[in-house]
Amino acid sequence: MFKDVLLLQKKELEKKLKEEYVERDAEIREIKSDIIKVIIGPRRAGKSFFALHELGKAGNFGYVNFDDEKLVSARDYDEIITAVNSIYHNPKYLLLDEIQNLDRWELFVNRLQRQGYNLVITGSNSRLLSSELSTHLTGRHSQISIFPFSFKEIVKKEGEELTATETKEKLLHYLTYGGYPEPTVKKLDYDSYLSTLFDSVVYKDIVKRYRIRSTQGMDDLALYLMSNTAKEFSHSTLAKVTKCKSVHTVEKYLKYLEESFLLFRINRFSYKVREQVASNKKVYSIDNGLIHAKAFKLGSDTGRLYENAVAAELKRMEVDGYAEVYYWKNQQQEEVDFIVKKEGRVRQLIQVCYDVNELETKKREERALLKAGKELKCKNLLIITGDYEAVEEAGWYDIKGRIEYKPLWKWLLQSPKTG
């Protein structure tokens, strides 16, 4: 039975390898070493496609996709490996796709490594394949994150130099429809594809896995948050506006949504952990296209789409372990959208303001940046804009500082990593 399943998967694999591939801004380092290579990220973001092309450079490899109930229900995992060895002629390399679906996957993976297999594993659940890796995997391992295409990857896909006007047109499309690979490459209907994907993740990866009996609360919460990206929320408020029964249920469902890479939260900055935990959070979508496909349509809100795109780019940086990301707010309710912290120090403060032509708006953004900069002892101040670019001296009473203004499309095409 397992051999039949894997033969079908091999045919799908051969077909997939003939499809157009867009090079990602990532690589599997030390691919020939015995380190377990772990690729995490959202469903359909291109993890397996990336791994297939990276392994193709190394030599013969075997492939198992555990997004199949016949494999997941296996009682003896050795039968699966026996079938793999038969089909792929005893491969040294193994790609185990969506490994989180397999019960006690970590014991299986550790045993295969001890047996001498060179392993690449992928998963769409951040809890199973990130925060608990050190606990689960006894062997050395490295982590690679693959998210939907970044704007930089979208532009690189064109394969030619774009004019500034063409780049801005690409940005508008990216802000609306996001960067999921399949609809981008195959020219599929974005809304239909992403709506189906969103529902599949909610019901397959969350409702089914965690055996949620009443799905209305989960539905309400997911759609409400997707419709309120870039906004603050409290658990008590979410419990009131959705059919979740309690604050405890909200917290639990939020964790599931975040682990499945649909949404993510950022904390309000404070040097006191207790204050961080108690304060409101802000919520963002992992990809702008999901907002367009699933959020309640309340009219155009370019500013929020800009902010979500910046948040998603910073989230990539955070998942890769480069920095921590927060937002800042003082008692006067003045706010800075993003605080980038690295190695215990605040390295950059970022505001997102699509239109800075209105003088009062510009002064408000500058004032919050200057106040936060003084409080956090950070002089690296940035305002990401629609099209305005400059470096200006700004002041607010006795607080002075230099602020850089940079268009979003330029920021996205450069590395957002700060010194």
Task: Report the percentage of the chain scoring pLDDT > 90.
Answer: 72
What pLDDT is attached to residue 403? 97
SS3 string of the chain?
CHHHHHHHHHHHHHHHCCCCCCCCCCCCCCCCCCCEEEEECCCCCCHHHHHHHHHHCCCCEEEEECCCHHHHCCCCHHHHHHHHHHHHCCCCEEEEECHHHCCCHHHHHHHHHHCCCEEEEEECCHHHHHHCHHHHCCCCEEEEECCCCCHHHHHHHCCCCCCHHHHHHHHHHHHHHCCCHHHHHHCCCHHHHHHHHHHHHHHHHHHHCCCCCCCHHHHHHHHHHHCCCCEEECHHHHHHHCCCCCHHHHHHHHHHHHHCCCEEEEEECCCCHHHHHHCCEEEEECCHHHHHHHCCCCCCCHHHHHHHHHHHHHHHHHHCCCCEEEEEECCCCCEEEEEEEECCEEEEEEEECCCCCCHHHHHHHHHHHHHHHHHHCCCCEEEEECCCCEEEEEEECCEEEEEEEEEHHHHHHCCCCCC
Instruction: Tell me the pLDDT of the chain averaged across its residues.
Output: 91
pLDDT tens for each residue of 113-172:
999 999 999 988 876 555 556 677 766 788 899 999 999 999 998 877 889 999 999 999
Specify the CATH class of 189-296 in words: mainly alpha
What pLDDT is attached to residue 321? 87
What pLDDT is attached to residue 298? 56
> Is residue 373 left, alpha or beta, with left meaning phi > 0 and alpha meaning psi from -120 to 50?
alpha
> Within 13 Å of residue 85, how many CA atoms lie on the same side as its CB?
9
- Ranges of each domain in the chain: 2-145, 189-296, 324-413
Which ranges of the chain have pLDDT less than 50? Answer: 418-419
pTM (2 d.p.): 0.93
Q: What is the CATH number of domain 2-145?
A: 3.40.50.300
